[in-house]
Structure 1
Amino acid sequence: MNLITRKDYYGLETKISTKQIGPTSRLLTTIINKPVSDTLPIVGANVFRHSSGIHQDGVLKETRNYEIITPDVVGWRGETFPLTSQSGRNGLKKRLKDIGYSFRDTDLDKFYQKFIALADIKTFIYNSDLQMLKQELEAAEYNQSDRWVRLIRVDYHKISDTHSVIVRLTANGREFEASGSGNGPVSSVWDAIKNALSRNGLWPGDIRLTDFDVGKGAGGVEAIGTALVKISCDSKTAFGRGTDTDIIVACAKAHIAAIDHLIHSPLTE
């Protein structure tokens, strides 16, 4: 890389395509099933990431402040820097623009508050996390009516082989809670939500959970969990999606979103 970065000094050239260094490294890690260290020079995941607010600001103004080699020269693919609670509004605004989002100042204020709240829980905020926050804001704007069921809290307990969940919900201007149990956290969450809504006359009928899936976003143990559910009632079908750093809370959000859509939204027959 000296020949590339100091071409004026060495006066030498090679036919090596340095842009293939990154892809070659990723291919090798796939073949041998062994990832490289995040701090490995040139190809490590953290090489072109900057978490400090002053570093991020410096890179945004002039990349050469902190990068003698630019990511594109070595075929590096990823986020130049993950956002953190120390990232300012400019860093957040720039990243949102990079991934195709634009906000008015008032909407950016709302987004920034949600961003800070998530950053206080997670160490790093990735693009997938920002997309999740955007979806949550859009859902909150869509679900303005008090008729919609909203999740306030989930408490999960496992004692020996017994799983139990307590959920606190709000709907029609009232708060209420109920407990549920099952053979695991997912069935326990479903049972608790059913009990809470049934006791308050909000359970739509013979609802069946017909499909359930979970996934995760970028990051390690702090990654955002995503739950996807499909429910049916008679000939009607509805889908729900929930995200949270706690996968059990994500499951509860997904269940409630699907039930809300079943009650209030146009349904898929």
Structure 2
Amino acid sequence: VHGHNDLGLAVANSLSAVKNGARQVECTINGIGERAGNASMEELVMALKVRQDYFGVTTSIKTKEIYKTSRLVSKLTGFVVAPNKAIVGLNAFRHESGIHQDGVLKKRSTYEIIKAEDVGFKVEGLVLGKHSGRHAFLVRLKTLGYKLNEKDIDGAFKKFKILADKKKQVFDEDLVTIVQEEIGSNALEVWKLEAFEINSKSNSVPQAKISLKSSGKIFEADSGGDGPVDACYKAIEKITRLKCQLLDYGIQSVSRGEDALGEVSLKLRSKTKEAMGRASSTDIIEASIKAYLQAVNKIAG
């Protein structure tokens, strides 16, 4: 069975097909696909697992890898997972309502049909901050299911310490983002951000000054724009001499709090080439610049 989600019924129809004898279900991680998408793999798998007594079938999917896989697909495709997405959305296992919190504290299954740990969410553990050391960092990564080589550990730990100096508390979502960025940072960096300066105020055109490094040399340019991000992108165009069309741009909070990481995802087109970029920072302007440069490097590389 192959279901599309035009009416929001792809998963329901697929489950109905399984109940009536289908034994092959075509689906996608995060439900990505044409138009409104396809049947969501994670929703199908967990429905079959939780209601095995009704459907009478099993899958060979390792459900504890679902959340990490969802995040990886989101990062690679540039499609952001909605916070209220079933199974893998960041709010899937969070409770704000007083009566809900009371029920969860007394008996978690009152409001949660699925355990967060069953799909790879980690809801317990050490609180990491600027005083946390390498050992605590590695223990937390192991708890989150990551096994990195020494080079990636060194790079990820360095980014963790930089972030920890900016934030009071580093959450698991922050660590996941750091690790995924470090793993994906092996691509050739034709252009690297050295520094940026923004001048923006009411009733004036925002100005940006950008310094990039390439082949050991520093290049600088400044430009105005419709906003600080647009000004940065125009300054980068002056330096790289690569004219790009911004096809898509989105930003979301990785974790919670006023000092949360902001994650920018975007898509660029230059002539016949298209590329996606994704980067995070507690400074959304910095995240925007790094995401843009990541896409530029893919096009230029």
The TM-score, its normalising length taken from structure 1, stands at 0.64
Do the aligned partners of 1:179 and 1:196 also contact (CA within 8 Å) in 2?
A: no
Superposition deviation, residue 102 in structure 1: 1.3
- State the SS of the aligned residue for 2:95: helix
Query: Post-superposition, which runs of at least 4 consecutive aligned residues in structure 1 deviate over 4 A?
Result: none
Superposition deviation, residue 160 in structure 1: 2.8
Superposition deviation, residue 256 in structure 1: 0.7
Q: What does 1:2-13 align with in structure 2 at a 5 Å threshold?
A: none
- State the SS of the aligned residue for 1:209: strand
Match of 1:171 in 2: 214
Match of 2:84 in 1: none
Superposition deviation, residue 82 in structure 1: 2.9
Superposition deviation, residue 168 in structure 1: 0.6
Superposition deviation, residue 107 in structure 1: 4.2
Q: 1:100 aligns with which of 127, 138, 145?
A: 145
Match of 2:224 in 1: 181
Do the aligned partners of 2:152 and 2:182 also contact (CA within 8 Å) in 1?
A: no
Distance 2:263 2:94 in 1: 29
Distance 1:91 1:174 in 2: 38
Q: Deviations over 1:193-221 (max 9, x none)?
A: 111222xxxx2xx4211111111111211
Gaps of 5+ in 1: 1-22, 37-41, 44-71, 265-269
Q: What does 1:81-120 align with in structure 2 at a 5 Å threshold?
A: 81-105=126-150, 107-120=152-165
Q: Which has the larger radius of gyration?
A: 1
Number of aligned residue pairs: 195
Q: 1:160 aligns with which of 198, 202, 213?
A: 202
Match of 2:95 in 1: 26
Match of 2:283 in 1: 246
Q: 1:125 aligns with which of 170, 185, 207?
A: 170
- State the SS of the aligned residue for 2:238: helix
Query: Aligned pair in 2 of structure 1 residues 79, 223: CA closer, same or farther (>3 Å)?
Result: farther
Alignment-mate amino acid for residue 236 of structure 2 = I
Do the aligned partners of 2:229 and 2:285 also contact (CA within 8 Å) in 1?
A: yes
Match of 1:57 in 2: none
Do the aligned partners of 2:152 and 2:183 also contact (CA within 8 Å) in 1?
A: no
Query: Aligned pair in 2 of structure 1 residues 28, 215: CA closer, same or farther (>3 Å)?
Result: same
Distance 2:296 2:94 in 1: 46
Distance 2:255 2:179 in 1: 16
Superposition deviation, residue 263 in structure 1: 1.5
Superposition deviation, residue 136 in structure 1: 2.9
Match of 1:149 in 2: 191
Q: Deviations over 1:94-125 (max 9, x none)?
A: 11011111134554344323222211111111
Q: 1:218 aligns with which of 235, 252, 255?
A: 255
Query: Aligned pair in 2 of structure 1 residues 24, 173: CA closer, same or farther (>3 Å)?
Result: closer
Superposition deviation, residue 254 in structure 1: 0.9
Query: Aligned pair in 2 of structure 1 residues 139, 107: CA closer, same or farther (>3 Å)?
Result: closer
Q: Deviations over 1:223-269 (max 9, x none)?
A: 011111111122321111121110001000111111111111xxxxx
- Which deviates more, 120-129 or 243-252? 120-129
Gaps of 5+ in 2: 1-91, 107-116
Do the aligned partners of 1:238 and 1:259 also contact (CA within 8 Å) in 2?
A: yes
Superposition deviation, residue 192 in structure 1: 1.1
Query: Aligned pair in 2 of structure 1 residues 78, 249: CA closer, same or farther (>3 Å)?
Result: same
Distance 2:125 2:222 in 1: 45
Match of 1:137 in 2: 182
Distance 1:236 1:159 in 2: 35
Distance 2:155 2:258 in 1: 27
Alignment-mate amino acid for residue 225 of structure 1 = G
